[in-house]
Structure 1
Amino acid sequence: MRPEPVVSEADLLAQEHVRPEDVLRLPGITQGYDKDI
């Protein structure tokens, strides 16, 4: 079994409180990217 991925407090906060400007900083998330440009 693989160990569970380490989730930092910053990651939890990013998931709970995602603002449009924060979405651009999150890797792998491109939804809404074109709208902000």
Structure 2
Amino acid sequence: MIYYFLFLILILILFTLIILYSITYKVDYYNKLETGCN
């Protein structure tokens, strides 16, 4: 049961990292579009 709980926490951490990475990537992408093709 404890291992299952740790596994759930690991999945939650992975999902939050992926979401944060995608948000920062989108912001960086839009900034590049606004400033020009650099």
Into which bin does the TM-score normalised by the smaller protein fall?
Answer: under 0.3
Q: TM-score, normalised by structure 2?
A: 0.26
More contact order relative to length (CA 8 Å, sep ≥ 6): 1
The structure with more helix, counted as a fraction of residues: 2
